[in-house]
Amino acid sequence: MPEIAIATEKLTRRFGALTAVDSVDLLVESGQFFGFLGPNGAGKSTTIKMLTGLLAPTSGRMSLLGIDFTEQPVEVKRQIGVVPEGMGLFERLTAPEYLEFVGRMYGLDKATTRKRGEELLEFMQLADRPKALIADYSHGMQKKLALAAAVIHGPRMLFLDEPFEGVDALAAGALKELLARMTERGVTIFLTSHVLEIVERLCSHVAIIKKGQLVAQGSIEQLRAGIASVEGRTLTLEDIFLSVVGQDADRAQLEELSWLT
Amino acid sequence: MANLSERAGLIEQIRVVSWLRWRILRNNMRNKNRLLDLLGLIFSGLFSAIFVAGITVALFVGTGRLLENGREQFLGLLFLGLLLWWQLFPILLAGFAPQFAFRSLLRFPLRMSAFYLIGLAYGLLDSAAIAALVWMLAMIAATAVAQPALAPVMLVVCVLFAGLNITMERLLGAWVEKLMAKRRSRELFFSLFILSMVSLQFLNPLMQRYGRALVPVARRWLPYLWLLPSSFAGDAVARAVEHQWGHAALKFAGLAGYVVLFTALLWLRYSSLYSGEELGETAAPARVEKRAATALPERKERLAFLPPQVGAIFRKELLYLKRNTFLFFGLVFPPMMLLFFSVQFTGAHPTTFKKGISPDVFFPGMMAYLVLILIAPSYNCFAYEGRGVQSYFTSPVRFREVLMAKNLTTVVILSSEIAFCIGLVGWRVGFPEAPVLFATLAAMVFSIVGQLTIANWSSLSFPRKIVFGKMQGQRNSGMSVFILLGVQLAFGGASALILFSGRLTGNAWLPAEIFSLLAAVSLAGYFPALNAFTDLAERKKEILIDALCR
């Protein structure tokens, strides 16, 4: 029986009258490259924040790698890596300083932190400006650094919120390869992205959230099988997503913009 | 194909930009939803109105008196005041008031001439400009009353002078914008600003000592004031009063020459902006040579005695302090003020009192002042973390360690500053009697540890983000300021009473004994409180992340 990496049970988060995440039951197996999709405001970020300890759930349970998050948060955090929304960088540090900080926070010794930091900076093509402050980095460079920091301690699970946004094609290619190799070694990757082509290429399994509720979950093949194909064509993830989330409202709005088309 | 709209007219574009400026101002006011901010706004509005009205009356009376008493040659000084106000106030305000990146208008279909005129119109809507225009109206009105025939001359001079000031202010503003666009130059600007503000404290003692020697130097430079545009404006009116029309015309020409010069310079500056000059942080990145990865220089592990997480945060805090010019220069402030107070209140020739204060009073007073100044940032200790605060919640670390590392940084800074200042007091004033010395040191342990405990609670409960190198709206939340003031008053009051108890009872060592006991109590309470704050941080994390990640 495969090991369960993420299991949530009726995970709910309310903000006043708004229920951002409504009784979500997620199940992610270890080693899966898992894509978490949904339209803007559907509850993706809220879910990922709860799973990474940045937000407390209103109700429900969640366990990561078989450990109850509420009971042993520090033990869970020790085993996961996170690229949060907004990246969570200390912008007044240089990249080597930041990686040293993060490595030490995860309890790595100084020599290991230094060695891994150097290798990661080289891999991410950030080794050229060791004295530049992170504040002076471009958005893409900051994203690469946030990714480097998320993996420096060799996590068993990785949470990535829009990891390739702003990253150049060359670096994105190398990163995707790195992530794919990590999953081969049994690391679970939980990723959100609005670029469905990336999710389709990388992820073996996806879940789709709409208005706070999980509306689909499974392997891409399973989801594809659940939807009628169009003119014998193989359905893309975009077809699946639009079918599940619905696009009628957008079409109707487009009709109103006839002066632009 | 979509239909393109007609090109908007110049007047319409100016109107739209004026509307935009008004909406920015209005929306900024609308955000003042907290009672304290609203009160601040009302007070500052009232203060500004009184200030402008006061200067208006002063200029009306002053101009009238000068013209009535045949002292029109001093009109240039009034214009000099206006010039300084109009040029310097907006620059000072640039750091504090919300700024609108004027060049962002360039993405709209504007001609260069329209861009230029909109820039001028934008300058006219500046609060400094509006106040100066009101003041010039007062001068014209005073002229119309004192010498009605001269009113048209004063009107023309004021129009020219306003034109000069608008172009000059826009030009300086464009240069300041260029300066402020770069993080490093922005921080340097603020550092110099802070240092100059601190240095102003020494103006009085320095003037008392060297003032007389400076008078001949000032006299030597005074004649060159005639080169300033304000002198041309004042002299043009003065010569007209004396019916020396030839000289008056020359002064007019001089003033008009200035207007033409600054108009041309501003045109050149705006042309650069119009042609796409980029002012941002990422402008023209320097080509970097590919080189092997180099991380941090090899260092011996000096913080091995600390848990790794505490050591990591402590190191990060020190790096942040080093790179935060505002806080870093803030460390210079207490010793400088101590020097200043020692000149004012102590020694054989204090500048404030006839008789100097004794070290028994000066020493505890100064130490209380040091604690007050240096511990204040701890009441909002996450202020500079920004989005980095998320790291504390995603890392395997309890907030107990985070707070401990931050408090440790504060204690190290406080200890260094206090040690240096104790040496300074010893040199300047001398040390107090042993009972007072020990009582003060014990009181400081009590106050620092006690305040850090309360400051930790305040930081978690009322966080407010502060942006590096920015002064606009960069302050702690109203509640944390209230807490800081309340706690300082309570600690200060209690400490003063305890110190006084020694004299009252005739037992000189009593205050030292009481403070030692209190210090032990506050130390004993500090560590259990850290555990409670770990739970509090978990409950407050949404507030914390929301406030700091904006």
In angstroms, the separation between the Cα of residue B539 and the nearest Cα of chain A is: 8
Asked whether the beta carbons of B269 and B174 are under 8 A apart, the reply is: yes
Residues 458-497 of B with CB under 8 A from A: 468
The verdict on B320 touching A (C-beta cutoff 8 Å) is yes
Given this model, what pLDDT does residue B283 score? 42
**What is the 3 state secondary structure string of B365-394?**
HHHHHHHHHHHHHHHHCCCCCHHHHHHHHH
Do B311 and A104 make contact, defined as CB atoms within 8 angstroms? yes
The number of C-alpha atoms within 13 Å of B212 and in the hemisphere containing its C-beta is: 2
Q: B303: nearest CA in chain A? A: A110
Nearest to B100 by CA among B25, B29, B190, B189: B25
Which amino acid, B515?
A: F
Do A114 and B296 make contact, defined as CB atoms within 8 angstroms? yes
The verdict on B404 touching A (C-beta cutoff 8 Å) is no
Kindly report, residue by residue over B331-376, the tens digit of the pLDDT. 888 888 888 888 777 665 565 566 667 888 888 999 999 998 899 9
Which amino acid, B299?
A: R
Q: What percent of chain A has pLDDT over 90?
A: 52
Can you tell me the ipTM of this complex? 0.84
Residue spans of the domains in chain A: they are 4-260
Residues 6+ apart with CB under 8 A from A28: A4, A5, A6, A7, A34, A188, A190, A205
Query: Mutating which of B326, B387, B467, B539 best tests the A interface, going by the most A Cβ atoms within 10 A?
Result: B387
Given this model, what pLDDT does residue A251 score? 65
Please name the member of B309, B320, B538 whose beta carbon is closest to the beta carbon of A92: B320
Please name the member of B315, B384, B394 whose beta carbon is closest to the beta carbon of A52: B394
pTM of this structure: 0.74
Given this model, what pLDDT does residue B1 score? 47
What integer is the mean pLDDT of A172-187? 87
The verdict on B399 touching A (C-beta cutoff 8 Å) is no
Nearest to B439 by CA among B387, B491, B502: B502
The verdict on A161 touching B (C-beta cutoff 8 Å) is no
For tokens 């004033």, name the residue. B429
| DSSP classification of residue B5 | P
SS3 state of residue A162:
coil
DSSP codes joined into one string, B461-472: HS-----TT--T
Kindly report, residue by residue over B434-452, the tens digit of the pLDDT. 999 999 999 999 999 999 9
B393 CB neighbours in chain A (<8 A) are 52-54
Please name the member of B3, B319, B394 whose beta carbon is closest to the beta carbon of A93: B319
Choose which CATH entry (3.40.50.300, 1.10.10.410, 3.40.50.720, 3.40.50.11260) describes domain A4-260.
3.40.50.300
Alpha-carbon distance of B130 to B148, in angstroms, equals: 25
Given this model, what pLDDT does residue B156 score? 93
Asked whether the beta carbons of B186 and B179 are under 8 A apart, the reply is: yes
Alpha-carbon distance of A105 to A81, in angstroms, equals: 12
A90 CB neighbours in chain B (<8 A) are 316, 320, 385-386, 388, 391
For tokens 């200030």, name the residue. B51
The verdict on A57 touching B (C-beta cutoff 8 Å) is no
Given this model, what pLDDT does residue B285 score? 46
Residues 6+ apart with CB under 8 A from B548: B382, B383, B385, B386, B387, B389, B463, B465
Alpha-carbon distance of A182 to A202, in angstroms, equals: 12
Nearest to A35 by CA among A219, A181, A187, A185: A219
* Strand-strand pairing, A4-15 and A18-24: antiparallel
Kindly report, residue by residue over A72-117, the tens digit of the pLDDT. 999 999 999 999 888 889 988 999 999 999 999 998 998 999 999 9
State the sign of the Cα–Cα–Cα–Cα dihedral B263, B268, B272, B275. Answer: positive
Digit-by-digit pLDDT tens for chain B (550 residues) are 445 556 667 777 777 777 877 777 677 665 555 566 667 677 778 888 999 999 999 999 999 999 988 888 888 889 999 999 998 888 776 555 545 566 777 777 778 888 888 888 877 877 889 999 999 999 999 999 999 989 999 999 999 999 999 999 989 888 877 777 777 777 777 777 777 777 776 777 777 777 778 778 877 777 777 788 999 999 999 999 888 889 989 999 999 999 999 999 999 988 888 887 666 554 444 444 444 445 455 666 677 788 889 999 999 999 998 888 777 777 888 888 888 888 777 665 565 566 667 888 888 999 999 998 899 989 999 999 989 999 999 999 999 999 999 999 999 999 999 999 999 888 888 888 999 999 999 999 999 999 999 999 999 999 988 877 665 556 777 788 889 999 999 999 999 999 889 888 989 999 999 999 999 999 999 999 999 999 999 999 998 998 888 7
Please name the member of A88, A96, A261 whose beta carbon is closest to the beta carbon of B387: A88
Asked whether the beta carbons of B367 and B426 are under 8 A apart, the reply is: no
Please name the member of A88, A96, A260 whose beta carbon is closest to the beta carbon of B391: A88
Residue spans of the domains in chain B: they are 10-202+224-274, 308-548
For tokens 């996806």, name the residue. A206
What integer is the mean pLDDT of A203-222? 91
* Strand-strand pairing, A27-29 and A80-83: unpaired
Q: What are phi and psi of B323, to 5 degrees?
A: -95, 0
